[in-house]
């Protein structure tokens, strides 16, 4: 679901849909915690391997954002699928995220 590269980037490689939301949330929080323990206050997530997204995927993303903010860390999003960005725009949530 989430793989950590040698450069420390976390790559999301599963659909961000209702079917995967619960395990994706838990896996993501564990990966973010490991990344934060490794040093730094910035967590990069890369989404180019994500095939599908629905509103529950956006909810997972919001939870990861809260997780990072509670630890005074930044969450940076790269390669987000267009439908993820469109959902964030639709709900007025885009400004909450750092998109790259």
Which pLDDT value is given to residue 9? Answer: 85
**Neighbouring-strand partners of residue 16:** 53
Which pLDDT value is given to residue 8? Answer: 77
The domain limits of the chain are 2-99
Give mean pLDDT, residues 70-86.
Answer: 94
2-99 has CATH 3.40.190.10 classification = no
Which pLDDT value is given to residue 16? Answer: 96
Q: Residue 6: pLDDT above 90?
A: no
Higher pLDDT, 4 or 66: 66
* Per-residue pLDDT tens over the stretch 27-69: 999 999 999 998 878 899 999 999 899 999 999 999 999 999 9
């Amino acid at each position: 679901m989430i793989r950590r590269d040698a450069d420390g980037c976390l790559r999301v490689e599963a659909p961000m849909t209702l079917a995967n939301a619960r395990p994706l949330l838990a896996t993501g929080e564990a990966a973010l915690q490991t990344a934060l323990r490794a040093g730094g206050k910035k967590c990069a997530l890369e989404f180019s391997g994500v095939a599908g997204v629905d509103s529950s995927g956006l909810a997972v993303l919001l939870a990861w954002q809260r997780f990072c903010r509670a630890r005074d860390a930044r969450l940076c999003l790269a390669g987000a699928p267009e439908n993820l960005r469109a959902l964030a725009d639709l709900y007025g949530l885009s400004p909450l995220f750092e998109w790259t």
